[in-house]
Every structure is written in C-alpha cells, then in structure tokens.
Chains A and B, each alone.
Chain A
Amino acid sequence: MSTAPVIVEGGETAPVRGPGNVGGLSWVKLAGGVVGAWLVVWGLGNLFLAFGYYPEKFGSKVVIAILAVVGGVLGAALLFYFINMFVEGLPERASAIVMPYAYILPGLGLIGLMLLYPVLQTINYSFANSDSTAYVGLDNYKDIFGDSEFWVSIVNNVLWLLVVPAATVAIGVVVAVLADKLSTQGEKVAKSLVFLPMAISFVGASTIWGLVYHYDIGDKQTGLLNWIWTSLGGKAQAWLSLSDLRFNSFLMMVILIWLQVGFAMILLSSAIKGVPEETLEAARIDGASEWQIFWRVVIPQIKGTIITVFITVLILVLKVFDIVYVLKNGLDKTNVIANLFFQELFAKDQAGKASAIVVILLLAVTPVLWYQVRHFRAEEAER
C-alpha cells in the first residue's frame, strides 16, 4: 500500500472532486437518469419479449440474434449510463455511498432472481405435492428415502465422487509433470491434444465413447474396446450393461475424466512452472532423486492448485447428468441424483419429489460450498 502522493500529469494537484458533482444535488441528472433508465428497461423488455412472442415478425433467426447482441450490449451500456447519471445527480456524499450498489445491482439482481430465489422456492416446493398446489409435509422425502432407485443413485454418486476428481487430478499432474520434461514443441503438442476434449460437449463425448464401448450382436465387433478385448481372447461384452460392481458406471466415469484432465493439466502445469528453479536445484545438489524431488518439493508447492482443481471437478461431478442420461438414462443401475431429478420432474411430472431430490443435492454441496468460502477467505487474507 503506497501512500505517497500520486503525481498527476503536468505536475499540478488536480481537484479531488469529479466534474459531475460540483454542485452536489442535480435535479436534471436525477430526472434524466430515472427517465433514461426506465426507457431503456421498457424498450429492451419489449424488444426481447417481442423476440419471444412474435419471432416470425423479425424475418429470420439471424436478425433476432443480431438484434439481441446489439440490443443487449447497447442496452446494458445505456442502462449503466443512466443509472450512473442518476447517482451522480445525488448530493456528493450520497452519491459516493450509492454508487457501488448501483454498479453491482443489475448483476446481483440476476443472481438473486435466477439462483437465490429459486433455492428458496425449491425448498418450498419440496414440501408440496406433484404440481405444487398443496403442502404434503415430509411425504416427498419419505417417498424418496423409500425408493430403491434413490439409494442406487446415492451409491453411484459417491463412487463418482471418490473416483473422478482424484483420477482427474492424478492424471493431470502426470501429464503436466511429464510434458514439462519434453522439448518445447513436444510439450505444446501434447498439451493441446490432452486439452482438446475441453471443447467437446458431454453429449459429443458420450457419442465418441459410445462407439468405443459399442457392442454388436454376432461375431464381428466394430467397437474398439470389444475389438481389443476379443483380440486378447475375451468374449465380446455389452459393456454399458454390465452392472456387477457398477462396472458400467466406471466406464462412464472414464468419459468425464477424459474430458476434464485437460483443464486439470493446464492449471497444474502453470503451478509447476511456478516452482522456483533454485529449490529444485538445491534438492538435486543434496542428492535427491527426481522421484523424491517430485514428492517432497514439487507436490507440496502446488498443493493449493491441486485442491482448487480437485474442488472444481468435485462440484462438476456432484451435478453429473448428461453422460448418464444420454448413454443409459439411469438403466442398469447407472442412475445418479441429477438424472433421478430429471426423471421425476419431466418424465413423471412429480415436481414435489423432484424438488426434494434437489434439496438433497443442495445439502450434499453444502460442505463444498462452506469449504469454497473458507478457501476464498484465506486467499483474500493473503492478498
């Protein structure tokens, strides 16, 4: 924190107060701000609702998209311009107090509307019946806990949680460390190839791996795994139907790991490159082997990043849905919480039970959430 006076261009001491609020209260600005902001909200609201109500009037989808981008960006800019005008019109002291809130309000309002309010509403719905018209007490929770599919899902979610984050981090560390030992060109290529699946959707990845796990009735196998397996003398299998020991769930976990290792690797790699060369050199002079250096010097120094990556993947895994939905829709004991929710809400129209499932999911993420906040606080304290 430097408290030294900042030298302004030209060397003069400039006035501290901004040009906007020289005279304190300004009715013109207040009125202009209110009218302008209202006009923007009203105009944009109508434009966007018109996209929804009369899409055919715009001629083509591309026109709608372009109007939305232009309208959205310009509208947001104008909105902030008028909000700012209003706040600057306030007396100086009030202006300084209100300004920060005015800047965070639109963003925070969206979060409140789309994330905070729904949390409360969902908790509310979880005590109501299937179309949210009457309260039924704890019946939804009793139903869920009595449902064997729920317990199948819980076991699977726990397995996903135990396997995927740890495996992702482990493979990510291996790639990051080993790629660091390659030539510059080799490192670049290797990292790009492993990173590439980051761009692929869960559905796309499921398609890719669906081909790998493919099973043909008959002798000829066109799925890669079955081809390898039969070449080794095994019998062709319908892999994704093998529910013994939840084998099919593990095969689906492979897909998520495959998708996420790139992300882990990128973060871990930049952390590894941040380990000071001197500490490595010192360890080498002391006669430590590369293996010892890795475990005793590198790993402790990148621990923070490992935890960050682990938590990020963990959060993703808690909500895992697409892969299970697309490949099996929860059949053969592959169900997970998020898919169970989807089935209850949209296939069975059970809003109450579905909400109760989400509440359980919320409870499951709470420890992570608590950890995340603590971690954030600790990091802020270090800044």
Chain B
Amino acid sequence: MSARSAVLMADGRPRSRFAIVTTVVLCLLWTIPTLGLLLTSFRTRDAARAHGWWEIFSGGWTFDNYDKVFNGNGMGGSFLNSLVVAVPATVIPIMFAAFAAYAFTFMDFPGKDVIFVVIVAVMVVPIQVAFQPMLDMLGPRGLGVSGQYIAVWILHTGFGMPLAIYTLRNYMTTLPRTVIESAKIDGASHFQTFWRLIVPMSVPALAAFAILQFLWVWNDLLIAKLFLSADNSTVIVKLQGLLGSQGQGQELLTAGAFISMAIPMIVFFTLQRYFVRGLTAGAVKG
C-alpha cells in the first residue's frame, strides 16, 4: 500500500512516469533550439565560430551584437516600423468586423447564410491571389501609396477581415439571446444594443482576435517585404535580409532574430490567457 501512495500526486491522481519523461523530452526539444539562438546572440563572432553555444565556458561573451544591430544596422528604426505597422493594422479591422459579426449573429436577413458561407470559404483563399491586383491598385498605376504604411494597413485589414468576422460571430452566438431580446423590448435600437451590451460582453473575443492579428502582422514577411519601402521595412524583413547575407553579419543575425521576437513574446506571455480562450472559442464548437 505504501508503494501505491508514493505514486500519487498531491491531488490524488496517480503519477505517471512515462508522461513525465516524455513531456520533459518534448519540452527540451521545443526549447533548446531557441536557447541556442539566445546564447549565440551574446557571443562574439569569433567565439561563435570556434565553439558551439553549448560550450558555455569557452568565453567570448558580449553585448556588442545587440548594440551593433540596434544602433548600427538600423534594426532600431525597423523595430519602430514594426510597431507603427502592427498597432493600426490590429486595431482598425476590429470595428468593421464587430458590426458585421453582430449582424450575422443577431439579425435575420435574406442571403445571410450565403454571405457567411462566402466568408468561411474566403478564409481558405491564399493571399497570394491578391498580390498582383493589389500592386496595381496601390502602386504607381493606382493610388500610389505602395511603400508606405497605409498600403500595409489596408492589406492587413482586408486579409484579417474574414477570420475576424468568423471568430467574433462564433463568440457572439454563445452570448445569451434573451439579453438582446429584452434590450429590444426596452426600446434599444440595434446600434445601442451593439455598443452597450454586445461590445462589453465580447471583450474576450475582441482581445483574442487582436492578439492573433497583432502576432500575424508583426511576424508577416510577404506583405511587408512587397509593400513597404526600405525606410519603412519591419524587423522581420530586416532579419530576412540579414539571413541572406551569408558569412558576414552572422553574429548580428542572432541578436536581430531575438530582437524581432521580443515584442511578440511579451504580448504572448502577458495575454496568453485571452489568446488561448479565443483560439478555443473560435475553432472549437461551443
């Protein structure tokens, strides 16, 4: 009996050695590559070439890479660009999507199902279809704003819209309908119901979409690379440039990569709870 009680955890469930060993191995696999990058980013170029990062006692530690990449390489400027690109591109789509989601959830109208099915279908469409037509529309042949932030804001707003409407609508269907009915009977218009009831009640879903969109915009390479001029380019584009320069600048690459990850990781860790809830609410029925 005593042997049996030894394999129970604090909450009374049996302790599974197999589960512990396997998860530890998987966790190591999932963290060691990132750890390698982090350690390498604090090493001098010579040290990184002479020793693997796991030889931590071989010396050659430095903060220079961060200094150089931030100040010398223009990473500081592109860091700002990333913020300037990501924040408006995250915030602007939300209201458009929220109104549409409200209509799809709480109003009945002819064509509702068909239109919503189109939105579901469009989520699958690869954004590559849009590049040539959008380059025409935003480039010199059209509005002439290609290269500026505005071009990227517009694109991310459009591309994020189907997912935004879909996630918000999925969440809103879980809200109690009686609340809306009683608001209606109270004489509230749809506009008032939306602002006073639905928006406050949908905050978790709004936050979840915002996090998802922020990560997506911040981490995006394609749109930023194609639609932003060199002055306005984001950290991800800058990082991709560093990756291309094989050999020289290798020590800056690791520091640059870490700088590019800092903000998403902070967002991610501080808001993880919302993010998880939103993901599960959006994709899992319920």
Question: What's the Cα separation between A271 and B283 when bound, in Å?
Answer: 11
Q: Is the CB of B260 within 8 A of A203?
A: yes
Q: Is the CB of A345 within 8 A of B87?
A: no
Q: Is the CB of A201 within 8 A of B261?
A: yes
8 A–B contact pairs at CB < 8 A?
A: A16-B185, A116-B118, A192-B272, A195-B272, A201-B260, A204-B239, A211-B254, A369-B121
How many A-B residue pairs lie within 8 Å, measured between CB atoms? 366
Q: Is the CB of B121 within 8 A of A373?
A: yes
- The verdict on B48 contacting chain A, using a C-beta distance below 8 Å, is yes
Question: What's the Cα separation between A216 and B144 when bound, in Å?
Answer: 46
Please give me the residue from chain B that is nearest to A221 by CB atom: B52
Q: Is the CB of A211 within 8 A of B37?
A: yes
Instruction: Report B-chain residues with C-beta under 8 Å of the C-beta of A16.
Output: 184-185, 187
Q: Which of B50, B100, B128, B164: most chain A Cβ within 10 A?
A: B128
The 0/1 profile, CB within 8 Å of A marked 1, for residues 86-109 of chain B is: 011001100111011011100111
Q: Is the CB of B222 within 8 A of A321?
A: yes
Contacting B at CB under 8 A, from A48-107, are 48-49, 51-53, 55, 61-62, 64-65, 68-69, 72-73, 76-77, 80-81, 84, 88, 97, 99-101, 103-104, 106-107
Known: A115-B122, A211-B40, A362-B129. A194 touches B158 (CB 8 A): no
Q: Is the CB of B16 within 8 A of A181?
A: yes
Contacting A at CB under 8 A, from B237-286, are 239-240, 243, 253-254, 257, 260-261, 264-265, 267-269, 272, 276, 279-280, 283-285
Contacting A at CB under 8 A, from B188-218, are 188-191, 215, 218
Question: What's the Cα separation between A221 and B81 when bound, in Å?
Answer: 37
Instruction: Report A-chain residues with C-beta under 8 Å of the C-beta of B92.
Output: 68-69, 72-73, 76
Known: A2-B178, A201-B260. A68 touches B240 (CB 8 A): no
- The verdict on B175 contacting chain A, using a C-beta distance below 8 Å, is no
Q: Is the CB of A204 within 8 A of B260?
A: yes
Question: What's the Cα separation between A197 and B134 when bound, in Å?
Answer: 31
Binds B, one of A146-154, A159-167, A304-312: A304-312
Instruction: Report B-chain residues with C-beta under 8 Å of the C-beta of A322.
Output: 221-222
Q: Is the CB of A103 within 8 A of B99?
A: yes
Q: Is the CB of A52 within 8 A of B239?
A: no
Chain B interface (Cβ < 8 Å from any Cβ of A): 9-11, 13, 16, 18-20, 22-23, 26-27, 29-34, 36-37, 40, 48-54, 80-81, 83-84, 87-88, 91-92, 95-97, 99-100, 102-104, 107-109, 112, 115, 117-134, 143-145, 148-151, 153-155, 157-159, 161-162, 164-165, 173, 178, 181-182, 184-191, 215, 218-222, 226, 232, 236, 239-240, 243, 253-254, 257, 260-261, 264-265, 267-269, 272, 276, 279-280, 283-285
Q: Is the CB of B23 within 8 A of A186?
A: yes
User: How distant is B254 from chain A, measured CB to nearest CB, in Å?
Assistant: 7
Q: Pick the contact of A174 from B22, B91, B117, B253 — CB < 8 Å?
A: B22
Please give me the residue from chain A that is nearest to B77 by CB atom: A61
Instruction: Report A-chain residues with C-beta under 8 Å of the C-beta of B269.
Output: 192
Q: Is the CB of A103 within 8 A of B103?
A: yes
Q: Is the CB of B30 within 8 A of A104?
A: no
Q: Is the CB of B187 within 8 A of A193?
A: no
Q: Is the CB of B132 within 8 A of A183?
A: no
Q: Is the CB of A107 within 8 A of B100?
A: yes
